[in-house]
Amino acid sequence: MSKIVMKFGGTSVADIKIMKNAVSKICEEINNKKKVIAVVSAMGKTTDELVKQVKEISSIYDAREYDAILSTGENISASLLVLLLQNEGINARSWQGWQIPINTTENHSNARILSICSNKLEKKFSSGMQVAVVAGFQGISKNNRITTLGRGGSDTSAVALAASTKAERCDIYTDVDGVYTTDPRITSEAKKLDKISYEEMLELASLGAKVLQTRSVELAMQYKVKVRVLNSFNKGSGTILCDEEEIMEKRVVSGITFSKDEAKLTILSVKDKPGVAGIVFDCLSKANINVDMIIQNISDKNLTDVTFSCPTDQVKIAKESLEKGKSNKILDYNRLDIDTQVSKISIVGIGMRSHSGIAQTMFKTLGDENINIKVISTSEIKISVLIERKYLELAVQALHEAFKLSNI
């Protein structure tokens, strides 16, 4: 019994009329004699509306209740999609997280899937069910409380279901044609990629390309799930996520991604002794700051400068937490320099492993455009830089051309 997982995001189930698109996509697979597990997000802006109601009560809230509230959005879209499928004569039923069950950690609002018990699903498929519509984004903890998987968590639901039911494929339907070399809104030269390796996608996803939730890519890589990113509203082959080995001609650079609203914070003249970086980032982590790049320079004898980046909307809290550390005499430093006018650009590509000179090309391209690089950070298949925000679009366009991404 060959199974396909099909995930429909919020824009693909925004209303009853739009849902009919999803119905026809599902019908195509049914006509190909496939069994379908359809994973749905909440309709359009439903989740935002629910969040608004919670925030009306308080900005601090019990995440268990928050999860119980948010999960209702997916429950509604799952059952509505079933009703539409049944109208087409298809044997379909809805499944909420607890009914399968999808077991997760107790880390509410950002839970991780521990296991999926697919017995009941398999049994229903054997007895005639053609489509199981699963409410995405949700699971249950060992205490039988409803958990959610974080924004974009339905992607992870879909990939995990594909892994646990050994599905042939996991198709992620969204409102874009696939994964692009960069954001098409920045340069019309951006090209859709036919294939991308899990590793590259992982870097792109975590760097801010909002096509897939990072954890769904990790899971897909771990369980070798064949993921396709497709457009609900257009025909097209989308982008296939696969193993590096399946990509014959390895591209040096596959994509350019960026994060616009970054801030650079430099803590000047920190006493340079073992454990000091630990203290700095302990202060920041306690304040829930998403620290991204970290650089440490020795500036003077026994003194060091520590630089890090974080999203601009977290600067205020980061500043407060460091100042609190100073006034509590946990942390000793001279000054805090904050630059809120920076953006991060990254180039990603598995070919970097075997090609030299990539960093040099990147830095030279930016230099030729008179763009100053403020911070550099690298991984095996990625190079990231911080630059002045006003140069962001220019930099993306120049790098896109320098790495000949429009010829992919």
CB of 127 to its own copies, least distance (A): 12
Shortest CB 96 distance to its own copies, Å:
7
- Closest separation between CB of residue 75 and its own copies, Å? 5
Nearer to its own copies, 148 or 257 (CB): 148
Taking the least distance from each CB to its own copies, the nearer of 20 and 389 is 20
Is residue 37 within 8 Å of residue 132, measured between CB atoms? yes
* Nearest distance from C-beta of residue 84 to its own copies, angstroms: 6
CB of 25 to its own copies, least distance (A): 17
User: C-alpha dihedral over 57, 59, 63, 67, to 10 degrees?
Assistant: 60
Give the alpha-carbon dihedral of 132, 138, 141, 145, to 10 degrees: -100
Nearest to 135 by CA among 152, 154, 117, 122: 154
165 CB-contact burial (10 Å; exposed 0-12 / middle 13-18 / buried 19+): buried
Output 75 or 182, the one with its CB closest to its own copies.
75
To its own copies, the closest distance from the beta carbon of 116 in angstroms equals 16
Nearer CB in complex with its own copies: 80/276: 80
Q: Are 321 and 315 in contact (CB under 8 A)?
A: no
- Contact between residue 66 and residue 185 where contact means Cβ atoms under 8 Å apart: no
Q: 13 or 170: whose CB is closer to its own copies?
A: 13
The single-letter DSSP state of residue 192 is B
Min dist. Cβ of residue 78 to its own copies (A): 8
Q: Are 222 and 230 in contact (CB under 8 A)?
A: no
Task: Give first-to-last CA distance, the chain, whole Å.
Answer: 37
The sign one gets for the Cα dihedral 367, 369, 374, 377 is negative
- Nearer CB in complex with its own copies: 64/326: 64
Whether 205 and 212 have beta carbons less than 8 Å apart is answered as: yes
CA 30 remoteness from chain centre: 30
State the minimum distance, in angstroms, from the CB of residue 79 to its own copies.
4
Applying CB under 8 A, the residues found at the interface with its own copies are 16, 50, 53-54, 56-58, 61-62, 64-66, 68-69, 72, 75-76, 78-80, 82-84, 86-87, 93-94, 96, 98-99, 144-146
CB nearer to its own copies: pick between 56 and 380: 56
Closest approach of its own copies to the CB of residue 46, in Å:
10
* Smallest gap from residue 236 Cβ to its own copies (A): 28
Please state the φ and ψ torsions of residue 21, each to the nearest 5 degrees. -55, -50
Nearest-5° angle of CA 28, CA 32, CA 36?
70
CB 202 within 8 A of CB 255: no
Nearest-5° angle of CA 53, CA 58, CA 63?
Answer: 80
DSSP state of 180: B
CB contact set of 15 (below 8 Å; sequence gap of 6+): 43, 44
Least distance (Å) from its own copies to the CB of residue 358?
50
Which residue, 25 or 264, has its beta carbon nearer to its own copies?
A: 25
Q: 81, 82, 164: which is closest to 122 by C-alpha?
A: 164
Q: What are phi and psi of 267, to 5 degrees?
A: -100, 115
Q: Which is nearer to its own copies, 80 or 201 (CB)?
A: 80
Of 54 and 303, nearer to its own copies (C-beta) is 54
Nearer to its own copies, 141 or 257 (CB): 141
Residue 6 near residue 21, CB atoms below 8 Å: no
Amino acid at 48: D
